[in-house]
Amino acid sequence: MAEQYMNDPMQEVFIFETSQQLEQMEQSVIKTEALGSYPSETINEIFRIMHTIKSSAAMMLINNMSVVAHTTEDMFYFIREEKPQFIDVSTLSDLVFEGIDFMKSELDKIKNGAEADGNPETLIDKIKAHLKILKENNNLTDSQAVNNEPVTEKYYISSNKAAKISEVKTYQALLQFEEDCGMENIRAFTVVHNLKEITDSFKCTPEDVINDPDCVEIIKRDGFMLQIKTAESQEKLEAFFRTMAFIDQIELTEINELQEIREGLNIVISDEAIMVPQLKNPACEMSPVKESPVANGNHSQSMISVSVEKLDKLMNLVGEMVISEAMVTQNPDLKGLVLENFSKSARQLKKITNELQDMVMSIRMVPLGPTFFKMNRIVRDISKKLGKEMNLKILGEETEVDKNIIEQIGDPLMHIVRNSADHGIEMADTRIRQGKPQTGTITLEAKNAGGEVLIIIRDDGKGLSRDGILKKALENGLVGDEATHMTDTEVFNLIFLPGFSTKEAVTEFSGRGVGMDVVAKNIEAVGGNILVESVEGQGTTITLKIPLTLAIIEGMNIRVGESCYTLPIMSIKESFIPKAQEVFRDTDENEMIMIRGQCYPIMRLKEHYQVKTGATQIEDGILIMLEGETKSTCLFADELLGEQQVVVKTLPKYIRRMKKIEGLAGCTLLGDGNISLILDVNGLITQKRFKN
Amino acid sequence: MAEEFDEFDELELEEDDETEEGKYLTFNLDNEAYGLEIIYVTEIIGIQKITEVPELPEYVKGIMSLRGQIIPVVDVRLRFGKPSRDYDERTCVIVVEIADITVGLIVDGVAEVVAIPEEEIVPHPDLDETDSQQFVRGIGKVGTAVKLILDCQKLLEDDEMENPSQEA
């Protein structure tokens, strides 16, 4: 147990890196599957990733993962070296996916503190069998057959045997690891560990990478020096190092024996010798091909993952700073003083705090891309399983949304896509009969619309059946006699009611009866809503409207007596000062006003929330017309205080536990340190209706 | 061991973490003195501007900002059914935190921190565990004075909201 704790930071890095690599691999495989063939970059990529995972898993003593990676690597080694003509792309992809899934599930187990105990036997047998078939199909059973034996010298001996250099040469390699890759000694150990598969005779500086605590610093500063005696060619060695993770620079030079001895004696190599940035021998220049995988590796390393909790804290702090800044610069003690220098500095401070706030907000924004790409896999699996032909088209994946929201919408999105693929898209023959293209298309699109993001899931399947939904709803008692008068939109919205599922059969992918209601609930939880449009026979479009961020809204502060409230600016249509004679009451004493021929109810916030102070005469205040989802209403307040970006905070737990206050979305801190309550326009309007 | 520590405590200042056990922050409301277990108290601040929140019981005065953190404030007088009193410069807010819930308690003023050993606390004469409105857990003796020891947990509970029959 103690050992596991010790491993924690290393394990964390391992899990993070490995899952990223698996994700990356999954995406490339899906891409290649669409192409129908494996381009060499993908083969190299998979090979490289599998190789890395094999080593790192072995290092972490997760043998089953290591073995799976190893077998997959073997298969791709064969494909890469022999370039077989006949590859069953879809079976191969299935196998790779199976491998990925296996490793992912093992990773999950480790993450949850369990043992990675999955049994890889069947999977490995499958992969091996497939490799055999591959070989047979491509008449290459001969020399390669022995390669099933793990860990031999087979690496990178290309089929082009002519290139093989038989005499043993000595090379000196200086490896620089990427900055910030962390745990340099472990990386170095991985290199050494893997190098043992190629050659046994090598020396490294620092010598003891695992037990010498100082070596991290040495490697960071001077790089990791290796002297290798091998029969392999320089290119092979270089390619070998390229497959290692986190290597930034490789300097590989051939050295003669004399030099080697000299260097050997002088273990502390002078800085000068190491810092030589260029290769001395022009013949040894790196291969001209700047390998793209390395570039990719760099790219992923320039990102770090930070826990959202920390970001929340940071944002709170910045919010407080903005308030403190206002407290200082608008301090009453400064009133009436002419302070030229002070105002100048204060302006500078304000500018910086504003920029800081924007930056913190932007940190939280992440593109929808990864969430969208996950759907690829779902569509692929369903299409395979059910034998339907369909494509997933992704548009606007660069659209950015607050991290918290992304987490919330992942599951609903998956559900909708599943539904579209499972229930929406028809079988190919049905589609042809209906004159549709044989392959169904599901489009996943994201776009910005003001302060909101629209996520549109469109399929060209059979669409929603009004009658089918109504029948089902009647059976379940979800609607009564009014059903016949319902509009299409109202009917389609029935699918979001709990316990509604039109599909009779429960499939592996969807249709467990808990479905769209959960989707609707999740989307509403982040302040979004769902719109369904559908034409029977032509397809369904589901639009998710979600706010860009939960954390900040553009607000209008209004005053009622001594209290301050904030309205989301999006919901304000207009504001005006009414005249007393424009306002009238109906028999139930409900106040109303006629504006341009339309009659709107008036809601006095003062009365509604029983505020003790504030204007009572209608001409002393202002009316703000609010537009909700279904209805509009006019809110009566004392005055508008101005527009401001406000950081939304939830009401304290104590109050939330006590009662859900309709019409309140949260609260925020104003520049002067006061608290303003944020109004939820839809809640206000509905509540008003109930009260009447 | 424990005895050694106890002796040590008397010499040391009160800030020591280990000494918090058995210490009570006392405050006065009208003629009675009340004690709150000090482990729940995070800080004591002067009264600040409170933003009213609608539709809440009268004793919840609203919310206030504690260095950016928004906390609810409860008027202890109203919570105990006593008549309210205007806030003055002696009015304090005792910020308590129990099980992730932070609440400010408005009191007329805090008195002192006293150590009341458990054996000096006698149970409430008609203690009824089920009565959610009974905030006094026991009565502590400090010399000749008595302090009503409050049950912080109960103070923050709001059963009457969940149980409408009691409200009526």
Chain A residue with the nearest C-alpha to that of B61: A655
A319: Cβ contacts below 8 Å, ≥ 6 apart: A357, A647, A669, B68
User: Which of the two residues, A665 and A202, has the higher pLDDT score?
Assistant: A665
Q: Please state the domain extents for chain A.
A: 2-148, 161-295, 308-366, 368-547, 552-691
Identify all chain B residues contacting A649, using CB atoms and an 8 Å cutoff.
70
Confidence (pLDDT) at B106: 92
Q: Name the 3-class secondary structure at A627.
A: strand
Confidence tier at A306 by pLDDT (50, 70, 90) = confident
Q: What sign results for the dihedral spanned by CA atoms A355, A358, A361, A366?
A: negative
Lowest-confidence segment of A324-338, A500-514, A557-571, B35-49 by average pLDDT? A500-514
B96 CA: distance to closest CA in chain A (Å):
12
Residue A474 and residue A576: Cα distance in Å, rounded?
Answer: 47
Say if the Cβ atoms of A655 and B67 lie within 8 Å.
Answer: no
- pLDDT tens, residue by residue, A247-288: 777 777 766 554 444 444 444 433 434 443 443 343 333 333
Instruction: Choose among B57, B68, B72: nearest Cβ to A320.
Output: B68
Mean pLDDT of all residues belonging to chain A? 75
| Domain A552-691, classified CATH 2.40.50.180, yes or no | yes
- pLDDT tens, residue by residue, B23-32: 899 998 888 8
Confidence tier at B48 by pLDDT (50, 70, 90) = confident
- The distance of Cα B87 from the centroid of its chain, to the nearest Å, equals 18
Confidence (pLDDT) at A526: 76
Best probe of the A interface among B40, B55, B155, by most A CBs < 10 A, is B55
Chain B residue with the nearest C-alpha to that of A322: B68
User: Which of the two residues, A216 and A689, has the higher pLDDT score?
Assistant: A216
User: Which of the two residues, B124 and A263, has the higher pLDDT score?
Assistant: B124
In a domain, B164, yes or no: no
Q: What is the mean pLDDT of residues A32-51?
A: 81
B146 in Cβ contact with B63 (< 8 Å) = no
Identify all chain B residues contacting A610, using CB atoms and an 8 Å cutoff.
54
B103 CA: distance to closest CA in chain A (Å):
7
Identify all chain A residues contacting B70, using CB atoms and an 8 Å cutoff.
649, 651-652, 667, 669, 675
A371 in Cβ contact with A416 (< 8 Å) = no
Confidence (pLDDT) at A138: 72
Whether the CB of A563 is below 8 Å from some CB of chain B: the reply is yes
A594: Cβ contacts below 8 Å, ≥ 6 apart: A582, A584, A600
C-alpha to C-alpha distances, A385 to A26, A380, A422, A509, B118, nearest whole angstrom? 18, 9, 10, 10, 69
Confidence (pLDDT) at A179: 67
SS3 string, A426-441, reads CCHHHHHHCCCCCCEE
Say if the Cβ atoms of A655 and B101 lie within 8 Å.
Answer: no
Confidence (pLDDT) at A169: 67
Nearest to B93 by CA among B133, B63, B56, B136: B63
DSSP type of residue B100 = T
Say if the Cβ atoms of A320 and B71 lie within 8 Å.
Answer: no
CATH ID of A2-148, from 1.20.120.160, 3.40.50.2000, 3.40.1280.30, 1.10.3720.10: 1.20.120.160
CATH code at A308-366: 1.10.287
Identify all chain B residues contacting A658, using CB atoms and an 8 Å cutoff.
56-57, 60, 158, 161
Give residue for tokens 């600040």.
B48
Residue A313 and residue A315: Cα distance in Å, rounded?
Answer: 5
Note which residues in 314-343 of chain A have CB less than 8 A from chain B.
316-317, 319-320, 323
For residue A148, what are its two tokens?
């099933």
Confidence (pLDDT) at A200: 62
In a domain, B166, yes or no: no
In a domain, B23, yes or no: yes
Confidence (pLDDT) at B130: 59
Q: What sign results for the dihedral spanned by CA atoms A407, A15, A392, A450?
A: positive
CATH code at A368-547: 3.30.565.10
For residue A362, what are its two tokens?
């932007």
Say if the Cβ atoms of A655 and B60 lie within 8 Å.
Answer: yes
For residue A252, what are its two tokens?
């590989």
In a domain, B14, yes or no: yes
User: Which of the two residues, A39 and A216, has the higher pLDDT score?
Assistant: A39
In this structure, the number of other CB atoms found within 10 A of the CB of residue B160 comes to: 15
Percent of chain B predicted with pLDDT > 70: 77
Confidence (pLDDT) at A211: 65
Identify all chain B residues contacting A323, using CB atoms and an 8 Å cutoff.
68
Confidence (pLDDT) at A505: 44
Fold of A161-295: Alpha-Beta Plaits (3.30.70)
Q: Which domain holds residue B93?
A: 2-155
Confidence (pLDDT) at B55: 85
Question: Which of A316-325, A468-477, A591-600, B119-128 has the highest mean predicted lDDT (pLDDT)?
Answer: A591-600
Say if the Cβ atoms of A655 and B64 lie within 8 Å.
Answer: no
Say if the Cβ atoms of A659 and B56 lie within 8 Å.
Answer: yes
- pLDDT tens, residue by residue, A65-85: 888 888 888 888 888 777 777
Q: How many domains does chain B contain in total?
A: 1
Residue A423 and residue A408: Cα distance in Å, rounded?
Answer: 24
Confidence (pLDDT) at A182: 65
CATH number of B76's domain: 2.40.50.180
In a domain, B167, yes or no: no
Identify all chain A residues contacting B61, using CB atoms and an 8 Å cutoff.
none
Instruction: Choose among A608, A651, A653: nearest Cβ to B100.
Output: A653
Percent of chain A predicted with pLDDT > 90: 3
A52 in Cβ contact with A21 (< 8 Å) = yes
User: Which of the two residues, A297 and A327, has the higher pLDDT score?
Assistant: A327
Residue A236 and residue A234: Cα distance in Å, rounded?
Answer: 5
Whether the CB of A633 is below 8 Å from some CB of chain B: the reply is no
